Structure 1
Amino acid sequence: MCDNDFDKYIAAEADGSQAYYRRELAKLDAKNKQELKCLVEKMNNAGCPASFSWAFSEVTEGIPQFARYLILKELHRSITDVEEGLSCAEDFTEDIESLYQTAAGAVGEDHIKRLLTAYAKGIVGTLISLIDDGNLDRDRDGISWSLIQTDAEGTPTGQIIEGLHEDFAEFDKM
């Protein structure tokens, strides 16, 4: 694998980052370059528009960026799929469809969908903070929690997935 294999990805990066990536890529051994190439391909297949920079960070810094991307992608999908959210809400509020239709009739379906999407972003943002921060009363309670990456069979890899809040706000722009 030669560095030219990454030229199209580096060219897509911001001008200020291109020299950095070329310099740092030259420092990687063949094994890491192959790992980077495979990870970029997997992230591209998953729809990640910033696949090279995220994959580079995972390979060079050990940050589980692919897992972070997949989690944020699914959370974002859940936020923007109002119909699925309403369907899930039926498990907790039997008359949710009637409530939705009443609200949509009063202010318009577009407005109510925008409201529900914004509300879902707030809830998910709070959940992400809860996951990232763990138990704020850990000293009192003696426990906390983390989100752990697993392999395809569900076996924990030991890698903690954190910092979701860092990319959550930007995910709409991806």
Structure 2
Amino acid sequence: MLGAFNQLGCSDPEGWVRSEIEEGIPQLARYRFLRTLWLQIIDNWHDGPANIPAARRALEAGASQGDLTQLARAVAYETVFAMLYHLDADEEATDQLPSWALAEITPTGEATRRHLDALHEDLLTLDPSGREGQDLWS
């Protein structure tokens, strides 16, 4: 497990492994999932939102590419955070309605029965830049 965290570029692999072992939290699955959200959703906007008509109009009107990119990344972050929070906050759950959970599976697709809870709490700490999202708000 330590090797997997190192391979993924984790800055504190020992801490994540210790937490998984001592607390029984599926930290490797959590780390992989959150890291993927940063790389594929939040930071995917580094090339800019030029394919969005409203963004093109803003650029033509004098907005800077950097500001639009920062705006797109901030909106992506807020959307991801809200979705992660919503995964844990099923306010309409009742005995009659199904709910949801994000769960860890093995490499062969078998359920481990361990849920990935409170992901929103670790989202900022997995910013690949190491800045914990500070560049989104400056």
Question: TM bucket by the smaller chain?
Answer: 0.7 to 0.9
1:44 aligns with: 6
Shift of 1:86: 5.5
2:23 aligns with: 61
Shift of 1:114: 0.3
CA distance in 2: counterparts of 1:127 and 1:108, whole angstroms: 29
Q: Point out the structure with the larger helix share.
A: 1
Q: Is the 8 A contact 2:104 2:114 kept in 1?
A: yes
CA distance in 2: counterparts of 1:49 and 1:74, whole angstroms: 16
1:103 to 45, 58, 61: 58
Alignment gaps of 5+ in structure 1: 1-38, 88-95
Shift of 1:98: 3.4
Corresponding letter in the other structure for 2:30 = R
- Pick closer, same or farther for the CA change 1:102–1:76 going to 2, 3 Å: same
- In the superposition, the TM-score normalised over structure 2's length comes to 0.81
1:118 to 74, 79, 82: 74
- Pick closer, same or farther for the CA change 1:104–1:111 going to 2, 3 Å: same
- In the superposition, the TM-score normalised over structure 1's length comes to 0.65
SS in 2 for 1:162: coil
- Pick closer, same or farther for the CA change 1:120–1:42 going to 2, 3 Å: same
Percent of residue pairs identical: 27
Indicate the RMSD between aligned Cα atoms, in angstroms: 2.2
- Pick closer, same or farther for the CA change 1:140–1:55 going to 2, 3 Å: same
More moved, 69-78 vs 163-172: 163-172
Larger of the two Rg values belongs to structure: 1
SS in 1 for 2:94: helix
Q: 1:28-54, CA deviations, whole angstroms, 9 ceiling, x for partnerless residues?
A: xxxxxxxxxxx1111100111111101
Does residue 147 (structure 1) correspond to residue 102 (structure 2)? The answer is yes
Shift of 1:84: 8.0
Higher RCO (Cα < 8 Å, 6 or more apart): 2
Corresponding letter in the other structure for 1:114 = Q
Does residue 167 (structure 1) correspond to residue 130 (structure 2)? The answer is no
- Pick closer, same or farther for the CA change 1:50–1:121 going to 2, 3 Å: same
Alignment gaps of 5+ in structure 2: 133-138
